[in-house]
Amino acid sequence: MLSRGSQINVTIEKMAIGGAGIARHEGMVLFIPLAAPADELTVEITLKKKNFAEAKIVKILKPGPSRRTPPCPVALVCGGCNWQQITEEEQRSQKQQLVLETIQKFNRGVEFEYLPIKASPRSLRYRNRIQPKFKNGNFGFFARNSHAIVDIKDCPITEEDLTAKFPEVRAFAEQKRSQDLLKLEMYIAEEGDIRYGLITDDDDGVGFSQVNRFQNEDLVATALEWAGDYSYKNVFDLYAGSGNFTFPLAAKYSIATIHGVELNPKLVERAKSRIGNKPIKYFLSDVENYMKKAVIGREDLVVLDPPRAGASEEIMKKLAQTPPRKIIYISCHPVSLARDLNWLFAWAQKLGKSFKLSRVQTFEMFPQTDHVETIAELVVDS
């Protein structure tokens, strides 16, 4: 019987959402952080539950073919990246498989075209917004599963323009002469300049922006291409942020009215400052509240790009009740995407409507981590 502290030998089958490697031992599923596919390992049980256990690597008996030395010297202790020990090609292959399995698990029998994952133009030096910490002279990110700070001079996944400012930001934090943990934010602004500051209880930072601008271009272009050439009457951009999709949608569908819906006032303000005389209406609102009153018709397009928690059953129900012509769902968490699709199909069936999941594609937006972006196209069968 396995218990905490037991040591066993296992082989990693594949990677899991959350980033750990999966192995099996006497019917028990084990989650092992920092593993790589096909690794043969001696591991020690760190947590034992009824149906699964967690374990840490004690010894690598035989590395899997995709195991490599991480490009970052602190990758195995820093909590920032969890897949640096795996080659980029294998990271993509794992993500491709994980998204497929997750959608299928929640939506048995639903068929769709599944396109190959799009690699990121950059696997390193792609992040344009980071939130380092500072305490007791240490500047960096939290260690894995800890609030200790891993002191860094560089971060290889972050754009050079930001890492070049590390000494300046470290000095800025030192000058605060605080014993408390300081949370910082650094980012490349849309205007191109580098900005940084403290995140406090009163100021939660700049708000959401796509962190990989190199891959974001392709994501936006794909969303527009999949939305097609139809003359939509209304385009709803739900979870619109500061307009990453809203403005390109407005440029493509120039005769449509574009409705952007976003909860963060800073992002709404930033978007509104760019609207000028374009036919864009921007709403500071929770999407679920907005959808209660939204009038959506068969000549409309809905784009939704929710946070990791996904949308909600109410939102998917509303989309099933009054279906638009097409839905483009952009997701940063496969489980919430798969669950939301399931709600949409279930409600559509109850209401006598029919949706087709036409195509799905994953985008490598966050190399060196288990995170993945997915785009899905849903068409209403007429």
Ligand X SMILES: C[S@@+](CC[C@H](N)C(=O)[O-])C[C@H]1O[C@@H](n2cnc3c(N)ncnc32)[C@H](O)[C@@H]1O
Q: How far is the CB of 228 from ligand X (least distance, A)?
A: 19
CB of residue 291 vs ligand X: minimum separation in angstroms?
10
Is 78 annotated as catalytic?
Answer: no
Residue 286 contacts ligand X per CB under 6 A: yes
Q: Does 239 bind ligand X (CB under 6 A)?
A: yes
End-to-end CA distance of the chain: 57
- Please identify which residue in 45, 182, 287, 335 interacts with ligand X, judged by CB under 6 A: 287
One character per residue 149-188, x = contact with ligand X (rule: CB under 6 A): ----------------------------------------
Smaller CB separation from ligand X, 31 or 208: 208
Site for ligand X in 251-280 (CB under 6 A): 261-264, 267
Nearer to ligand X, 113 or 225 (CB): 225
For residue 245, state whether it binds ligand X (rule: CB under 6 A).
yes
| Annotated binding-site positions for S-adenosyl-L-methionine | 210, 239, 262, 305
Q: By CB under 6 A, which span of 16-24, 188-196, 207-215, 341-349 interacts with ligand X?
A: 207-215
Q: Which residues bind ligand X (CB under 6 A)?
A: 208-210, 239-241, 244-245, 261-264, 267, 286-287, 305-307, 332
Active site residues: 332
